[in-house]
Structure 1
Amino acid sequence: MKSMSQWGQPIALFALVLSPMGGLNATASVVAGITSTPISEEQPTLSQQRGNVELAQGLIGECRAAARAMFVYPERSTSNPLRALQTDEKVTIAEESGRGGWIAISSPVNGFVQAQDLKLCSSSPPRTPPTSTPQSRCRRVSYEGTEGLAIRERPSVNSPRIGGVFFEDRVTLADPPQFRVDDEGREWVRITAPTAGWLSNGFPKLGDINLRACF
């Protein structure tokens, strides 16, 4: 009986030592479990992401109108204007945001305009624009072909020829300016001088233009 008592003390002591160690290990496991769990961060919903994309793409294809008589240019510069825009004439935006005060458009021709001269398109009929000055309706022929450009009765290559102009000649647009695009994508402009009729302005969307603004 005495030998059993002697063995009992070490066993009890060993159990006492293991007990707090086991408790420590258990506590460490709990802490490790807590710290290893990632803290959830609020993620944007699919609808929010889609809204951001739509916001970023909101300008391309949007309608804007000329706040005043202005020009369309081939580059972000006031050199070599392509054609004039009359007050309230509509354009289509072709890039997300402008640069250096300029923004790209895709219609009525491809080019660049000064953003400060644009306004939102109105759904209501625009007011009658003021009569444009003869200077703003002046164009000079930039087509260098020796045959010149034919002035025709109607905006068609099959329409009778009633006159002609050559490189560097000047013509006057109708007031207000009138433009037509045929089935081939050719742009026609109505003129009043030197002969009243229709003149081909080439294919502006492809960068092929027969008329330039006068200076």
Structure 2
Amino acid sequence: MKKDNPTYKNTLLCTAIALTAMGSTTLPVYANPDTSDAVILAQAATADLCRRVINPPEGLVIRANPSTSAQRVGGVGRGETVTLTTSPATTSKDGAGRTWVQISAPNAGWISNGIGGPGFLVYCGPTPPPPPPPSRCRRVINPPEGLVIKRDPSRTSATVGGLALYQRFTITTNPATTSRDSEGRTWVQIEAPTAGWVSNGLGGQSNIGVCP
């Protein structure tokens, strides 16, 4: 196309206008997901180190070392918060049986968490939920023919049921309630699918495994 052609000149003009418009457009800024994740993790870590003083009424003395005779370096009132140095807390027990907890704020040092009892510190946030109870689910992993359920922990006791290989069942307690017979065989008490006792073997290989 010749440069003095009107069509060529119009094409150049349109291109220049389009480039100018693009140059003035503000492009969206996207947050770095890695940075956001790092902030969230850092906040969670900080929150996990926070504790609130609930006792005694007069508050706690911050000591340079974990001892009542150590230099006083600060104090924290009842209802105020402290920051642990680690989670779980770094602790030390003195000769009187008093547990000391190391903190980094409001002053670096050690505070007493009492002698026995529930202690002087609680989580800053809502009370954490209790851990789930240990699972009482078990399954048969040996022998290939499965296990018989006995009324009592003995080979000569009445059979009240059976379990196939890899079948799941429920023990009565965790840790399991066990009994060893005169032959050295360990029996485990179960409550389902039928209440009774199953053999966990005569030494060596176990017949019972934890449910996956």
Check whether TM > 0.5.
no
Given the two structures, how large is their TM-score scaled by the length of structure 1?
A: 0.36
Given the two structures, how large is their TM-score scaled by the length of structure 2?
A: 0.37
Q: Larger relative CO (CA 8 A, sep 6+): 1 or 2?
A: 1
